[in-house]
Amino acid sequence: MSLLWFVLGQLAEIESMGSSKKIITKEEWEKKLNDVKIRKEDMNKLVMNFLVTEGYVDAAEKFRKESGTEPDIDLATITDRMAVKKAVQCGNVEDAIEKVNDLNPEILDTNPQLFFHLQQQRLIELIRNGKVAEALEFAQEELAPRGEENDILQQSFLEELERTVSLLAFEDVNNCPVAELLDISQRLKTASEVNAAILTSQSHEKEILLRMLVDTYYIVCRYALEVQHILECSLMMTGKQIPSSQVC
Amino acid sequence: MAQENDVIGLHFLELWRSNSKAAAAAATATTSTSSSSKEDAEFEEEPTELDTFNSSGMFSVVLSDKLSVQYPTVNLHGHDVGVVQANKPAPLKRLVYYFEIFVKNAGAKGQIAIGFTASGFKMRRQPGWEANSFGYHGDDGLLYRGHGKGETFGPTYTTGDSVGGGINYSAQEFFFTKNGKVVGTVAKDVKGPLFPTVAVHSQNEEVTVNFGKDPFVFDLKAFEAEERRKQQMTIDKISISQNASYEIIRSYLQYYGYEETLKQFDMASRSTVPPIALGQENGSSDTEITYAMNHRKTLRQLIRSGEIDDAFDKLRIWYPQIVQDNKSAMCFLLHCQKFIELVRIGKLEEAVVFGRTEFEKFYRLTEVHDLVKDCAALLAYEQPLKSSVGYLLEDSQREIVADAVNSMILSTNPNITDARVCLHSCLERLLRQLTACFLEKRSLNGDQGEAFYLGRLL
């Protein structure tokens, strides 16, 4: 997630702080505002960071020309990263995994949690497409061993695996307790996790900050999309159609 | 210069002026650490060595490097502690302050302490034994905070251990570490300046102190990152509309006239997953900032490439009212920029001629004397870029002129009543509010902790 998001979050937090204990006149406040020095250069960098993190390659290129701001990441790498993100967002997880490995095979090696989530997404897509036998085979042969490999994350992996497989147990998948796994927000969550991992592997200094910022993405994205989902559901005529298939 | 309508022009002159001051300050700075004008406000002194003036020199001996302390004699009672404070109190305006000691020799009884004390501390007692002091003692591993009786806190420590003491302003806590790991925290309920303090009490004890000159055993940066992440967690719980950032970026691009970028941005955001519905939430000001975007884009391009004459021509055709008054701040900015461009390409004679004819009228106006002087000074140097007025040749100067023209054109919109609305983009207003709020919040907190500075984030 971009630095702009971080900035907005800070502002929202202050706004939510409630009553203030100090009274400041409008003139005093105007003066304080005027005393703040914001450099145009810094604002341009913030905008560039947003464009780059969100993956707007063409816009970033144009912005570089129009404003003279240099991106802190090589723009050529954005298209690759966006291809991976898009693949996950559309449910083509195998394609995404292949692309990630082409970019940098170390990413998945050093990121067991990410790899698990990608495999989990693959399982979800198999279930979504009604390929029950394949799904079970995949779960048993590919996913369960992952859970056993990694001690620290084992517990949460196996729990997640069980949740995912339980989708098969329900007739009405849209209304079952784990229905959210089929929702597009799950894909987006995985997509942004991949996005962050690639970004981290490509940039050097800003790792911690970006990771920090991406942590917020899950929660905020989910909230934003839950609202959107509720709106979409209320507009849909039938309850059987799964929303995510419409988007890609 | 016409004052009433020149709000915009004057604003940008002030911007130029502050750049000039910053450049002058940087040029005369003798210290190697250069800081931006923002961080100057944040500059605080910090401890660098032990204070030999104030220490209980009767009991302990501070070595000549002022970073080591010994207890040579035999201690007899509880009022002959060898206590030393740092030469300065811990700085406030940061997230965390930290320092470390290394126990070279635990001596007879290992009665070493590390902690923080106020300025009036009785310098013969262990930190923590008196009010307004805190100490983590090595012989019993207890924490003392103002009473004779300590509380269970952490492990004991002895020869060969590195022990650290820190203040976490965000959590308003003290924390202590042993050999790189945090052993405990305690609430900080004392206000006012606090001195990092070290104490030795039994024969042959010796301790060295590190105020940051050498790397710490404890990973302070990771600790700070974790603190910031915790702060971030509270922010996570607030849901922000996903569209908010898109709207702000969009408005920024429109405001400054980055037309090409805007086109690409709009195209791309239409095909995102899920699609972003823009322009629906904040309908009102859309038309105002897209006013004359094409003209503004063209003029920005011309100014950024140094083609001031072309810029003038275009302005005379499109917005004559802006360049009508030859003595306005806007004209001044443009004329100076033309002068600067001539110097940049080495046409010094032409620059001098231009200067003589154009600057003459500005010389009579005392308000801009300093800026005219800066421009003229460019001629004095063979390598002007390296001089104190070298900033004029940088992109940032062109940017000021380009932004000034941008704001002026926006103000010609008949729907705008107050020109000041054209001075800042929405993002800039937001950042100002944020910075000011943070500063205010911090000052309510006794001026402790970090403020928000965009420069640091970047």
The pLDDT value recorded for residue B310 is: 94
Q: Does B258 sit within 8 Å of A67, measured CB to CB?
A: yes
Helix (H) or strand (E) run with residue A151 in it? helix A151-165
* Distance, CA of B409 to CA of B318 (rounded, Å): 10
pLDDT, residue B269, reads 81
Provide the shortest C-alpha distance from residue A102 to chain B (in Å).
24
Rounded to an integer, what distance in angstroms lies between the CA atom of residue B98 and that of residue B259?
49
Is residue A103 within 8 A of residue A200, CB to CB? The reply is: no
Residues of B in contact with A221 (CB under 8 A): 242
Q: Quick one: tokens of B137?
A: 């003692």
Chain A to chain B Cβ contacts (< 8 Å): 168
CA A223 to chain B, closest CA, distance in angstroms equals: 7
Q: How far apart are CA B357 and CA B351, in angstroms?
A: 10
Bigger pLDDT: B80 vs B457: B80
> Which residues from chain B sit within 8 angstroms of residue A223, using beta carbons?
239
Contact present, B103 and B217 (Cβ < 8 Å)? no
To 10 degrees, what angle do helices A184-202 and A76-89 make?
160
CA–CA separation, B144 and B117 (whole Å): 11
A91 and A147 belong to one structural domain: yes
CB A121 within 8 A of CB A161: no
Phi first, then psi: give them for residue B174, nearest 5 degrees. -95, 150
Q: Are residues A23 and A65 in the same domain?
A: no
Between helices B220-236 and A207-235, what is the axis angle to 10°?
Answer: 10
Question: In terms of pLDDT, which residue wins out, B446 or B374?
Answer: B374
Domain count, chain A: 3
A239 and A227 in a common domain: yes
How many helices (H) and strands (E) chain B has is answered by 15, 13
- Which residues pair with residue B176 across a beta bridge? B165, B184
Query: Look-up: residue for tokens 């419409």?
Result: A246
| List of chain A residues whose C-beta atoms are within 8 Å of the C-beta of residue B223 | none
| Residue in chain A lying closest to B399 (CA) | A40
pTM over 0.80: no
Question: Does B141 have pLDDT greater than 90?
Answer: yes
CB B139 within 8 A of CB B111: yes
Structure token digits, residue B365: 């106006």
In this prediction, residue B458 carries a pLDDT of: 67
Both tokens assigned to B270:
């239409």
**Looking at the partner chain, which of A37, A59, A212 has a beta carbon nearest the beta carbon of B228?**
A212
Q: Looking at per-residue confidence, does A173 or B315 come out higher?
A: B315
The answer to whether the beta carbons of residues B423 and B436 sit under 8 Å apart is no
| Whole-number average pLDDT of chain B | 84
**Closest of B23, B18, B22, B6 to residue B332, by C-alpha:** B6
A195 & A144 share domain: yes
pLDDT band of residue A213 (cuts 50, 70, 90) is: very low
Residues A219 and A193 in one domain: no
Contact assignment for A47 to B249 by CB distance below 8 Å: yes
Q: Are A196 and A83 within one domain?
A: yes
Question: From the CA of B12, how many Å to the nearest CA of chain A?
Answer: 12
Chain A residues with beta carbon closer than 8 angstroms to that of B428: 38, 43
Please report which confidence band the pLDDT of residue B238 belongs to, taking 50, 70 and 90 as the band edges. low
Report the complex ipTM: 0.74
Q: What is the pLDDT of residue A240?
A: 36
Q: Which helix (H) or strand (E) holds B183?
A: strand B181-187
Provide the pLDDT confidence category of residue B235 given band limits of 50, 70 and 90. Answer: low
Sorted by sequence, the CB contacts under 8 Å of residue B416 that are 6+ apart come out as B288, B410, B422
Q: Is B165 helix (H, G, I), strand (E, B) or coil?
A: strand
Among B397, B338, B367, residue whose Cα is nearest residue B389: B397
Which member of B236, B258, B396 has the closest CB to residue A63? B258
Domain segments of chain B: what residues? 4-28+241-444, 50-219
Touching check for B273 and chain A: CB below 8 Å? yes
Place of tokens 């275009």: B314
Residue A119 has pLDDT above 80, yes or no: yes
| Domain boundaries, position A135 | 76-203
Check residues A149 and B165 and name the one with the higher pLDDT.
B165
The pLDDT of residue B387 is 84
CATH number corresponding to B50-219: 2.60.120.920
Task: Assess B35–A contact: CB distance below 8 Å, yes or no.
Answer: no
A172 and A81 in a common domain: yes
Same domain, A132 and A210: no
Residue of B174, B117, B176, B172 lying closest to B146 (CA atoms):
B117
Of B362, B366, B313, B303, the closest CA to residue B337 belongs to B303
Q: What is the pLDDT of residue B418?
A: 78
Nearest chain B Cα distance for residue A145, angstroms: 32
**Facing residue for A224 by CB, picked from B242, B396, B457:** B242
Residues A236 and A142 in one domain: no
Which amino acid belongs to residue B192?
G
Q: Does B31 touch chain A (CB under 8 A)?
A: no
Task: Find the residue in A nearest to B223 (Cα).
Answer: A208
Query: Which residues in chain B touch residue A42, judged by CB atoms under 8 angstroms apart?
Result: 454-455, 458
Give yes or no for a contact between B159 and B148, defined as CB atoms under 8 angstroms apart.
Answer: no
Flag whether pLDDT at A214 surpasses 50: no
Q: Is the pLDDT at B282 greater than 90, yes or no?
A: no
Tell me which residue in A33, A51, A56 faces B432 most closely, judged by beta carbons.
Answer: A33
Number of alpha carbons in the 13 Å side-chain half-sphere of residue B132: 12
pLDDT confidence of residue B273: 61
Those residues whose C-beta lies under 8 Å from the C-beta of residue B353, and which sit 6 or more positions away, are: none
Last residue of a domain, one of A69, A89, A120: A69
What is the Cα B92 distance to its own chain's centre? 14
3-state SS of B108-131? CCCCCEEEEECCCCCCCCCCCCCC
Q: Quick check: A219 and B237 CB within 8 A?
A: yes
Of B302 and B431, more confident: B302
Which residues does chain B have within 8 Å of residue A58's beta carbon, measured at their own beta carbons?
264, 267-268
Residues B29-67: pLDDT tens digits?
644 444 444 455 567 889 999 888 777 667 888 888 889
Q: CB A216 to CB B236 under 8 A?
A: yes
Task: Give the burial string for B159-196 (b: 16+ CB within 10 Å, else e).
Answer: eebbbbbbbbbbbebbbbbbeeeebbeeebebeeebbb
State the average pLDDT for chain A: 76
B260 touches A: beta carbon within 8 Å = yes
Strand B68-71 relative to strand B181-187: parallel, antiparallel, unpaired? unpaired
Our CA-based measurement puts residue B116 at a distance from the nearest CA of chain A, in whole angstroms, of 30
| Surface of B (392-421) touching A: CB under 8 A | 395-396, 399, 403
Residue range B253-273: average pLDDT?
87
Collapse the DSSP code of B452 into the 3-class scheme (helix H, G, I; strand E, B; otherwise coil) and give the result: coil
The span from the CA of A114 to the CA of A160, in Å, is 13
Give dist(CA A160, CA A178) in Å, integer.
Answer: 10
**What is the DSSP track for A177-230?**
TTGGGGSHHHHHHHHHHHHHHHHHHH-STTHHHHHHHHHHHHHHHHHHHHHHHH
Q: What CA–CA distance (Å, rounded) separates B98 from B174?
A: 10
Query: At residue A13, does pLDDT exceed 50?
Result: yes
Shared-domain flag, residues A93 and A174: yes
The verdict on A82 and A194 lying in the same domain is: yes
Pairing of strands B133-137, B205-210: unpaired
Nearest CA in chain A to B298: A66
Q: Which of A38, A206, A212 to mutate: most B Cβ within 10 Å?
A: A38
For chain A, what is the radius of gyration of the CA atoms? 21
* Model confidence at B186: pLDDT above 60: yes
Tell me which of B79 and B36 has the higher pLDDT: B79
**For residue A11, which residues of chain B lie inside 8 Å, CB to CB?**
430, 433-434, 437
pLDDT tens-digit series, residues A40-82? 988 998 899 888 888 888 999 999 999 999 988 888 788 888 8
| B58 secondary structure, DSSP code | T
For residue B128, the model assigns a pLDDT of 92
Mutation target among B7, B11, B221, B236 for the A interface, most CBs of A within 10 A = B236
- Higher confidence at residue B56 or residue B153? B153
High-pLDDT (> 70) share of chain A, %: 73
Name the pLDDT band for B227 (thresholds 50, 70, 90): confident
| Strand (E) or helix (H) holding B428 | helix B426-444
For chain A, give the number of residues: 248
- Shared domain for A128 and A244, answered yes or no, is no
